[in-house]
Amino acid sequence: MDHSFETISAQAGHVPGSSPDVTSAIHLSTTFHYPPTGEAPTGFTYSRESNPTRKQVELTLAQLEHGADAAAFASGSAAAQAVFFSLKPGDHVIANIDVYSGVRSMLKNLFMPWGLEVTFADLTRIENLHAALKPNTRLVWSESPTNPQLNIIDLAAIIAVCKPLGIRTAIDNTFATPALQNPLLLGADMVMHSTTKFLAGHSDLTGGALITREKNEWWERIRFIQHIGGAVPSPFDCWLLLRGIRSLAPRMKQHVENAKAIAAFLSSHPAVERVLYPGLASHPGHAIASRQMKAPGAIVSFLVKGDKSKAVHVAGRVKVFTNATSLGGTESLLEHRKSVEGPDSPTPDNLIRLSVGLEDVNDLIRDLDQALRAS
């Protein structure tokens, strides 16, 4: 029987008939009994390769993203590395020009010296994808919404170009979560998550995941990289992730409602140059976001009127928001991203990124207002 997203997430880790537990158990064992013949009828031999708690995470994520299988990693970066390591030197990768800074650094400083060719392109315009294609292009890596500028990329259009050419597509769905966007249903080959963020939802674990549309040779190679590399989450982190997923649906609804209200407030504030939020009709990607997302998400970025020093001053004045990196927890976070990403980042100097939490939205708005007015 097919169940809704809300039902699957609310019962994450619960497998009727497998045990009397209503919530998932934590299997801390690193090793498991199996016969001397070497066969493992339970499917478990050593926790680096597989663990019952991690298996429940992977089954749940595959269901939520409408995938054939999922692989859990110790971080989103570890998940991304597995995708790039599945390629070979000489292969060409195209990534959106404003890709997450950690992935940009990974590609520039690890995989390009290793032998991958990488082109960073503005994928909000499909003609730029066509211009970037090469005979050796093997993968297009994209985010939508992008981090932190919240540009919207037409995923269906990207996939329509790549699929006839045999080019694989991998989409970082961290910002949207499967509650708001399902790239595999649009035809993407793979979805990546930093499960640290909204999926876990409580800022208390680090994790990542890949979900595949098909079990194929590429997926088997990624599974091998996961097993042999060993960058996998602990059973306790897996249990925490299942705990977080159980409240994902109602959390995302409140996150989004708060973000919409804050975006509307900021869009008319005299100290704000521009609000970057796909839920606003003024956003250049609003129509595409409305088509491919169920809701515009809970991340709001905005440009302060003034330079970098002005934005940093605003960031330093907040009292309810917390100045911290990461996102997706119950608490609201604020960050001047250029200070984190470095001088070669394409992020504007005056951009502030908000991860909108679950507090009373009026408290959040008053906090932003006093910080902006004090600057």
Q: Which of 54, 55, 69, 100 is catalytic?
A: 100
Residue 337 appears among annotated catalytic residues: no
Phi, psi for residue 28 in degrees, rounded to 5 = -85, -10
Rounded to the nearest integer, the mean pLDDT of the chain is: 95
Domain spans of the chain, in order of start: 5-245, 248-374
**210-222 tens-digit pLDDT:** 999 999 999 999 9
Q: How confident is the model at residue 18 (pLDDT cuts 50, 70, 90)?
A: low
Q: Which of 69, 172, 349, 367 is catalytic?
A: 172
Distance CA 277, CA 299 (A): 8
Q: Which of 34, 46, 48, 294 is catalytic?
A: 48
**324-350 tens-digit pLDDT:** 999 999 999 999 999 999 888 999 999
Has residue 243 got a pLDDT over 80? yes
Residue 34 appears among annotated catalytic residues: no
Phi, psi for residue 316 in degrees, rounded to 5 = -80, -5
Cβ 141 vs Cβ 114: under 8 Å: no
Q: How confident is the model at residue 19 (pLDDT cuts 50, 70, 90)?
A: low
What are residue 322's DSSP bridge partners?
Answer: 333
Lowest mean pLDDT among 32-41, 241-250, 299-308, 337-346: 32-41
Domain 248-374 is classified in which CATH homologous superfamily? Aspartate Aminotransferase, domain 1 (3.90.1150.10)
Residue 48 appears among annotated catalytic residues: yes
- Kindly state the percentage of the chain with pLDDT values over 70: 98
Torsion of Cα atoms, 269 then 315 then 289 then 152, to 10°: 120
Q: Which of 55, 104, 197, 251 is catalytic?
A: 197
Has residue 40 got a pLDDT over 90? no
pTM for this prediction: 0.96
**267-326 tens-digit pLDDT:** 999 999 999 999 999 999 999 999 999 999 999 999 999 999 999 999 999 999 999 999
Residue 46 appears among annotated catalytic residues: no
Which class is domain 5-245? alpha beta
- Kindly state the percentage of the chain with pLDDT values over 90: 90
Neighbours of 124 (CB within 10 A): 19
